[in-house]
Amino acid sequence: MHSEQAAHSDRDVSAYAAAEEKTLGTDYSMAEDSFAELMKAPYLDKYVKSQPPAARLFERDLEKARAITYKIDAGGVDRFGEYTNESHVFLQRVLYRINRLKLFWFDNLSNYENEHSSYLHKVRNRIEEAWQAWELAVLDASTLSRGDVREELVRRAARDVLPAPSVRGSYFRHEITEVGYRRLLAIASLDGMVEASQLSRTLGGVSNDIHSMMTRLLVEEYGGGRLNRKHSTFFKAMLTELNMNIEPEAYLDLIPWEVLAAINHSFLLSERKRFYLRYVGGLLYTEISVPGAFDNYRAAAERLQMSEVARGYWELHIKEDQRHGQWMLHDVALPLAAKYPREAWELILGYDQQKFISDRAGASVERSVRAAECEATRWETVQQSAA
């Protein structure tokens, strides 16, 4: 079925990373390695007080990255000024390393010794404070409290449930090659193989109709507890069919910072109950918009003659999320808007911010996929010339 499967093996997926513009710079790679070393140190909080070399190197580059990446002036966010992709990647990877401690990986229990470290807590807060101010500067939050929030939610959901055709969507649907599809799966597998649904972290507390619907959504998202319907099972099938690595985080080095930012943003909102309405607004956008994006991926998988099992993930979640989007709108978001009339505008803030972050992540995935395809074409040309 896939005549070039051997030529485009998992080894080649890693090779294409050399052309990826999001590759972490040498200096920040050393700083991240130092941070990884710190995270494994016994009694981390006591250890960093002695200012070991790893801590000094990391602290120096952390402050440098924050200063040049999240520059905000009177005119708003300086998105085209003095910042680098490398610093974005570095900061989001540091956040991701801290956030992943909130999930249990069935690995060595000693890996969690520092999960409540005050030092890690401070590092996370230092990054998040600057990062969130930078993100929020994009939106004119002062205008979101105007008008009828319920009407605005319904209007946005109607717009995004059937989005207009886009160049990006057409590319994935009609043009993406097997090499590009591999890159798409590699990036998507970071969430898909781990099933890092932050929804589970919002369900503690008193039960009511809203809580019950959120619980029902979580149960369906996790396949009703059946292994054969879980995200990771589908991803293993898709990756295995293409002879790709099925280990969690196998392709972490390929992940654009924009995708990591989307993951870290969800962790931030779900961990702080004061941001509950923002989290729900963001989840509403995700559930409403996913079927449109996944339908393009499903069409690509069908065009590339992937097996029915390997297409199953896209097909299942198109159907489920079409239903989940309506649940989130009518049984969660609108009732919350009625319950919290003064703060209801935060649902709109969460929705609009998630849309912006998701669109940015989608654009970065497209760039990465195109880069992989260009590098594959160049490599084949070199091979043919050599022959």
Last residue in a domain, options 136, 169, 197: 136
Q: Looking at the domain assignment, is residue 13 inside a domain?
A: no
pLDDT on residue 144: 83
User: What does the pLDDT look like over 226-275, one tens digit per residue?
Assistant: 888 788 888 999 999 999 999 999 999 999 999 999 999 999 999 999 99
- Are residue 296 and residue 321 in the same domain, yes or no? yes
Asked if residue 52 and residue 181 are part of one domain, the reply reads: no
208 exposure class (CB count in 10 Å sphere: 0-12, 13-18, 19+): exposed
Residues 220 and 158 in one domain: yes
378 sits in the region (left: phi over 0; alpha: psi -120 to 50; else beta) called alpha
**pLDDT value at residue 74:** 42
> Would the pLDDT of 13 be above 60?
no
Within-domain flag for 46:
yes
pLDDT of residue 196: 61
For the cut 50, the answer to whether the pLDDT of residue 319 exceeds it is: yes
Look at residues 105, 136, 167 and tell me which one is the last residue of a structural domain. Answer: 136
Query: Closest by alpha carbon to 283, among 364, 189, 217?
Result: 217
In-domain check, residue 108: yes
In sequence order, what are the beta bridge partners of 77? 72
Residues 147 and 279 in one domain: yes
Residue 77 has pLDDT above 70, yes or no: no
Range of the domain at 129: 22-136
Q: Where are the alpha helices (DSSP H) in 272-307?
A: 276-303
- 158-201 tens-digit pLDDT: 999 988 899 999 999 999 999 999 999 999 999 988 766 788 88
Query: Over the chain, what is the mean pLDDT?
Result: 87
- Tokens matching residue 74: 């009177």
What confidence tier does 8 reach under pLDDT thresholds 50, 70, 90? very low
Domain boundary among 136, 155, 178: 136
Please tell me whether residues 122 and 220 are part of one structural domain. no
Residue 8: count other Cβ atoms within 10 Å of its Cβ. 23
11 inside domain: no
The pLDDT of 51-63, averaged and rounded, is 93
User: What are the pLDDT digits (tens) for 193-231?
Assistant: 876 678 888 888 888 999 999 999 988 888 788 888 788
Tell me: pLDDT of 323 over 60: yes
Number of domains in the chain: 2
Neighbours of 135 (CB within 10 A): 19
Confidence of residue 14 (pLDDT cuts 50, 70, 90): very low
DSSP states of 243-275: T---STTTTGGG--HHHHHHHHHHHHHHH-GGG
Task: Specify the CATH number for the domain of residue 356.
Answer: 1.20.910.10
Integer Cα distance of 320 and 222 in angstroms: 11
Check whether residue 50 and residue 192 sit in a common domain: no
Same domain, 77 and 217: no
Say yes or no to pLDDT of 35 above 90.
yes
Whether the pLDDT of residue 308 is over 70: the answer is yes
pLDDT at 152 over 50: yes
Same-domain status, 272 and 195: yes
Which of 19-28, 139-148, 153-162, 195-204 is least confident?
Answer: 19-28
Asked if residue 314 and residue 277 are part of one domain, the reply reads yes
Residue 9 DSSP symbol: -
Please state the pTM of the whole predicted model.
0.89
Each residue's pLDDT tens digit, 119-128: 999 999 999 9
* Separation CA 179–CA 128 (nearest Å): 35
pLDDT digit string, tens, across residues 325-381: 999 999 999 999 999 999 999 999 999 999 999 999 999 999 999 999 999 998 888
pLDDT in the model for residue 20: 37
**Residue whose C-alpha is closest to residue 272's, from 104, 132, 89:** 132
Identify whether 357 is part of a domain: yes
Q: Which long-range contacts (CB under 8 A, 24 or more apart) does 112-119 make?
A: 113/42, 113/44, 114/39, 114/40, 114/41, 114/44, 117/44, 117/45, 118/45, 119/38, 119/44, 119/45, 119/48
pLDDT score at 72: 62
State the pLDDT at residue 21. 35
Whether residue 130 is found in the same domain as residue 148: no
Asked whether residue 221 is assigned to any structural domain, the reply reads: yes
**Cα torsion angle, 322, 323, 325, 326, sign:** positive
Please check whether residues 185 and 240 belong to one and the same domain.
yes
Residue with tokens 């499903």: 298
Residues 176 and 41 in one domain: no
